Chains A and B, each alone.
Chain A
Amino acid sequence: MDVQAPETAVVTGAAGWLGQNLVRDLLADGRRVRGLVRTDEEAALLEVAGRAVETVVGDVRDPATLDRLFAGAAGATVFHAAAVIHPAGRTRELFDVNVGGTALVLDRARRAGVHRFVHVSSNSPFGFNPHPGHRFTEDSPYAPYLAYGRSKHEAELLVQQAHDRGDLATVIVRPPWFYGPHQPERQTRFLAAVRRGRFPIVGDGSQRRSMAYTGNLVHGLRRAEVAAAAPGRAYWIADPQPYELRAVLDTVRAALRAEGLAVTARQPRLPAVAGRVAVRVDTALQAAGRYVQPIHVLGELGETIACDVTRAVDELGYRPATTLLDGMRASIRWCLERGRAL
């Protein structure tokens, strides 16, 4: 059973990877979108998506910016997608944006009197699965992984508190690693590295990874907006089943070939211990407030991060339609159409 979606959606992080996909999906349904973006350049890029999009330029940590974003937003849906995943050098930014920004957006949403608050969270508040066959469910205990995990964990607690004390109807959506159009440079580099045989498998590659095609994820967010059972709940949103990491890389290679690109068959490997060392180095660096992206990514590569989407299927009516191969192909085409070198 669904409730009626309001005409207007407020989207933070609207020019981001997920935001771009979400805004376009909303506009295609005739919705009005008010999007928070960081710069005038981002505003211009987003405004080409349609006439029904209105941008507010500013910082999610800035009360005055949020006053503009929420002016006259009574009854709208909020999709809070603004967050920092890979900070530039220091971990402080993770807490400023992911926790502080969320606190301020929640407060503005409550004051504006919005329809629902759909919060984009992450797998990181839950760390790694204990073994490759394990799946996170919505009942899994929090075990935040490093600074990003702690920041997203604290943000989830704020969102849940806002619901539990009657401020807002909130829904928490937890996507793992996602893929799809409007991807950032780091994902383009990932595709290029796989194509050129430079992306390593850590260990034997049997560790599992849940992934979410942006189109599937947008569908999940839209279901969270209207499903009657959703308020106060959290949902894992990902492709139906986790993949073995080596299968992900095989599929990326198949997708590259299907888009007419020559692909090397070479697959570099690193011993599992490399991942464990990276975790230790990353932990030590982050304890000192420092963030080094390649070490962080390497640390996660050796582990299983897999979730079970049963609750989303049952309660939200979540029906992910796009397969890994098709999603990767869409992602590759998007790069090629924009002349990105793979």
Chain B
Amino acid sequence: MTRVGTDVLVIGSGAGGATTAALLAEAGRTVTVVEEGPWIDPGAFEPFSLEEMARTYRHHGSSAALGVPPVAYAEGRCVGGSTEVNSGLWHRLPAELVEAWRRDYDIDEFTPDSLDRHAEALEAALSVRRLPGDLPPSSAVLARGAAALGWRSVEFARVFRYGPDGRAEKQTMARTMIPRAVAAGATILPGCRIDRLVTRPDGPGSRRVVAARGRRRHDDGSVGDLVIEADHVVVCCGAVQTPALLQRSGIRRGIGRGLKLHPTVKIAARFPDVLDHDDVPPYRVTEFSPAVAIGGSASRRGHVALALADSGVPFAGALADWERVFVYYAAIRSDAGGRVQALPGLRSPLVTYRLTDSDMSRLARGLVHLGELLLAAGATELYPSVTGGPVVRRVDDLGAWWDALTPARANLMTVHLTSTVRLGQDRTRTGADSFGSVWGHTNLRVNDASLVPDAPGVNPQAGVMTIAARNAEHFLATT
């Protein structure tokens, strides 16, 4: 049995948790961060490798939201959370969405200007910048195709530092916010899973968290009970685990519904020339945003093989030529919503997501747009993530994808899960107030992707960290 007492308990060490911990610790609060996954030294694994997936992802990288079709997703499970395993892409929340969310969810002090102030500070701290030098070939494909079709496109920044030798180092939470938190006196406890929060009545219609209970895996491999008593608890376990923990703790109102994600289709595209494969292209096509976003995916040999296999057609020739194959994606903003439900006796919650007809149509459109772009960029063969293909070699073949992309044949994935709690003063649509305080609780907050009210249409890391920094500042000013 381990007993810990702390001022602030932060559960989860990803983009939301690490940011919260660093800002609160630097303001002089006593902060303890618990993380279910292990501490992994940054750079210990080849980025996007299978070994990395096995060690740092939940379920070794293979989770799926149930529905027809199912949507595969991935979550980090290590100190630093998904920032350790993602591509480090940095997109501020689109201003028009911030405005719409403020209106729709009645969110106090939620304006593009107020968020930009936090975003700027984070960008300076994280070293958000563009790739030095010329576009790598995999990005140049997107730029070339967009130029040929007259489509808007943009090179974007990432959270990377570049050494004098040109070596790139992703500025994950384990390299940035976690060390800052530790330097300011925070305690990081890896290998700690919180199973439930214990709450007691605290005035009329209100409860407070008195303890967090869970299990701790010690360095020697032994496992023991863990109890943490804290004045304040901030849950930052991501859009799947945060609602699951709250539900297991008996907190259900407004929690776990409204899951949003970006359903994504892919194309493995073969080119006449060899492309780079070490990195994800920091370039995207915005012509059809926010409905459809187009960009490049991790394309090491294994990724190429998986993407080719998703087409369900013979691909040995393309795989043998994998250095000339790269994987590109089209991701959509979806009309559907999903649900996270903690089930008694099971460690993992049930995640369901049912795509609408309009979503399936938008995915088909994304596939056609992406195919047209890649052909315009000189691709010779396109393998879509649709079982049975068909493989496309010229523009005349593209139209067949509309009817090919059906719920039964589409192979979809996502990495952006959000919106299972949602912030705002409209209590009928949110699980937490404008600054992440869980309704009906005096000392319980959420501060992660769960709060983002709807799918942002872009990689959410910047939005999650920006909202987390904003809420941390509010916490310090009011508590």
The interface of chain A, by Cβ under 8 A from chain B, is: 58-59, 61-65, 67, 90-92, 94-96, 99-100, 103-104, 107, 110-111, 147, 150-151, 154, 289
- Once the chains bind, are B399 and A100 in contact (CB under 8 Å)? no
In the complex where A99-B358, A111-B150, A151-B358 touch, is A67 in contact with B364 (Cβ < 8 A)?
no
Docked Cα-Cα span, A110 to B372, in Å, equals 16
- Once the chains bind, are B358 and A95 in contact (CB under 8 Å)? yes
- Once the chains bind, are B357 and A100 in contact (CB under 8 Å)? no
Docked Cα-Cα span, A95 to B398, in Å, equals 18
In the complex where A63-B368, A64-B395, A65-B399 touch, is A110 in contact with B150 (Cβ < 8 A)?
yes
A222 to chain B, nearest CB (A): 29
Docked Cα-Cα span, A147 to B357, in Å, equals 9
In the complex where A100-B365, A103-B365, A111-B150 touch, is A61 in contact with B358 (Cβ < 8 A)?
no
A67 to chain B, nearest CB (A): 7
Q: Is B102 an interface residue (CB 8 A)?
A: no
Q: Is B162 an interface residue (CB 8 A)?
A: no
- Once the chains bind, are A100 and B396 in contact (CB under 8 Å)? no
Give 15 A-B pairs besides A62-B398, A151-B358 with Cβ atoms closer than 8 angstroms: A61-B368, A63-B368, A63-B399, A95-B362, A99-B365, A100-B361, A100-B364, A100-B365, A100-B368, A100-B402, A103-B365, A104-B368, A107-B287, A111-B149, A154-B291
Docked Cα-Cα span, A150 to B357, in Å, equals 11
Q: Is B288 an interface residue (CB 8 A)?
A: yes
A84 to chain B, nearest CB (A): 11
B351-372: CB near A (< 8 Å → 1, else 0) gives: 0000011101110110011001
- Once the chains bind, are A92 and B357 in contact (CB under 8 Å)? yes
With a cutoff of 8 Å between Cβ atoms, the chain B residues found around residue A147 in the complex are: 357-358
B48-82: CB near A (< 8 Å → 1, else 0) gives: 00000000000000000000000000000000000
Docked Cα-Cα span, A91 to B335, in Å, equals 14
Q: For chain B, which range describes its interface: under 10, 10 to 19, 20 to 34, or 35 or more residues?
A: 20 to 34
- Once the chains bind, are A61 and B360 in contact (CB under 8 Å)? no
CB pairs A–B below 8 angstroms (24 shown): A58-B399, A61-B368, A63-B395, A65-B399, A67-B395, A92-B357, A92-B360, A92-B361, A95-B358, A95-B360, A95-B361, A95-B362, A96-B361, A96-B402, A99-B358, A99-B365, A100-B362, A100-B368, A104-B368, A107-B149, A110-B150, A111-B149, A147-B358, A154-B291
Closest to A87 in B: B357
With a cutoff of 8 Å between Cβ atoms, the chain A residues found around residue B150 in the complex are: 110-111
Closest to A157 in B: B291
With a cutoff of 8 Å between Cβ atoms, the chain A residues found around residue B358 in the complex are: 95, 99, 147, 150-151, 154
User: Which of A58, A92, A110 has its CB near the most chain B CB atoms (within 10 A)?
Assistant: A92
Closest to B372 in A: A63
Docked Cα-Cα span, A63 to B396, in Å, equals 7
- Once the chains bind, are B357 and A95 in contact (CB under 8 Å)? yes
With a cutoff of 8 Å between Cβ atoms, the chain A residues found around residue B372 in the complex are: 63
Docked Cα-Cα span, A193 to B369, in Å, equals 44
- Once the chains bind, are B288 and A103 in contact (CB under 8 Å)? yes
A50 to chain B, nearest CB (A): 29
Closest to A96 in B: B361
Docked Cα-Cα span, A67 to B362, in Å, equals 21
Closest to B375 in A: A63
User: Which of B356, B361, B395 has its CB near the most chain A CB atoms (within 10 A)?
Assistant: B361
